[in-house]
Each structure stands twice: as C-alpha cells, then as structure tokens.
Amino acid sequence: MTRVLIALTSHSELGDTGRATGFYVSEAAEPWEVFTEAGFDVDLVSVKGGRPPADGVDEADPTQQKFLANVDLDHTPVAADLDASAYDAVLFAGGHGTMWDFPHADDLLKLAADIYERGGVVAAVCHGPSALVNLKLSDGTYLVDGKNVAGFTNAEEEAVGLTDVVPFLLADKLTSRGAIHHAAENWSAQSVVDGRLVTGQNPQSAQLTGQNVAALLATK
C-alpha cells in the first residue's frame, strides 16, 4: 500500500501583526483528497505534534470539510516518532506559519531527506517549500540545488501585503540555495516536477501538486 505523509506547521502567529496563521487548510485538503481517491494511505505530521493551527477554513468547501471530518488533527505525531521507511512521499502543506517553523524543524527535514534518499517523493506547495530552504541530503548538499521549483512568489507576497512581515522571501531564499525558481502569474495554478521533487506555487496549485505526486507514485 502506498503511504503519503502530509506535513503541517505548528506556528500560529503572523509575525508581530497580532493576526493568527497556521497551515492553509486547502493546501492540505486538496492533495489529501487526490491521494485518498488514488487509494493511498495518508498520515499527518506536524512540527510540534498535537493540533496544528488552521488558517483559511472555508465552511462551504466540500473538500475542506471532508478533510476536516476524516483526519485526526487533535493528535498529529511529531517527525521523531515516525519511520521514513513507511512512506513513499511527503508533502509539505503551506500556510504562512510554515515560514517560521519549517526551516528549523530538524527532525521533519531529516525525515523528508530520508524518504527522498530511499527513492520517495518530496513535495511542497505555496509556502510549504520553506521546508526546502534548509533541507540537506546526507552528502551535505541542499535538495533543491540545481532543481526546478515553484513556490509563493515575491509578487504574491507583495500582493497580500506581507513582504515585510515574513522572516524571508521564499523565492529569494530558494534561489540562494541553488534552486531555479519559476514564477507564473499571480494566483495561477503552477506545479513544477523535477525528478522526485514536486512543488506548487500557491493555494491554486495544491490540487495539481497532489496530482503530480500521485502520478509519480503510480509509476513506482
């Protein structure tokens, strides 16, 4: 049975704005739906375990509501409690909270590197690629070095008015790690596949990113 892990942020504060953040629910729910409909087993993990903070909940969205009704968000494990050999892929869901904790979630990054080096798929969408800025393989190289990637763009960050709130600009940081960042028009669906690395630009890219992961896993 193919098993996929969806990783969620545990960070709930949007800088010093006084606003709440967390994982963006659609960016977990849409890939989750793709994976479950493909017959995959899907587990969740979060940086700190327990119930991760949710952002962008749409009560009228059936995919989100199905996700929230069918997963156990109250008891997500931490990465240290999981075995990389059990998973064929890991997907880092986005949400602005990821910008604060994903880059420094060492156990989670090691788990993802292990999955990748065992022949698995690493995927991330929107701000989820913040996990990739410090994700190194066992030889000390950055996973994204020389790879084509997508992620929330500088223009999109400016459009939501958070350029000076986030701890870094995601596209710039990925580029500094050697990634080749591809920016499509704001809010257009874009997912880039480079070998076993799959990345998506924004919330509109979550379903497509999930579909690209599922297509890779179907060939294994």
pLDDT in tens, the chain (220 residues): 999 999 999 999 999 999 999 999 999 999 999 999 999 999 999 999 999 999 999 999 999 999 999 999 999 999 999 999 999 999 999 999 999 999 999 999 999 999 999 999 999 999 999 999 999 999 999 999 999 999 999 999 999 999 999 999 999 999 999 999 999 999 999 999 999 999 999 999 999 999 999 999 999 8
Residue type, 4: V
The question of whether 127 is a catalytic residue gets the answer yes
The first and second tokens of residue 49, run together, are: 């375990």
What pLDDT does 165 receive? 98
Query: Which residues have a Cβ under 8 Å from the Cβ of 195 and sit 6 or more positions away?
Result: 147
Catalytic residue among 157, 158, 181, 185: 157
Catalytic residue among 33, 96, 126, 181: 126
Catalytic residue among 96, 127, 156, 181: 127
Query: Which residues have a Cβ under 8 Å from the Cβ of 170 and sit 6 or more positions away?
Result: 99, 127, 129, 130, 133, 151, 152, 157
The first and second tokens of residue 193, run together, are: 């596949």
- Global pTM reads 0.99
What pLDDT does 42 receive? 98
- In angstroms, the CA 198 to CA 187 distance is 18
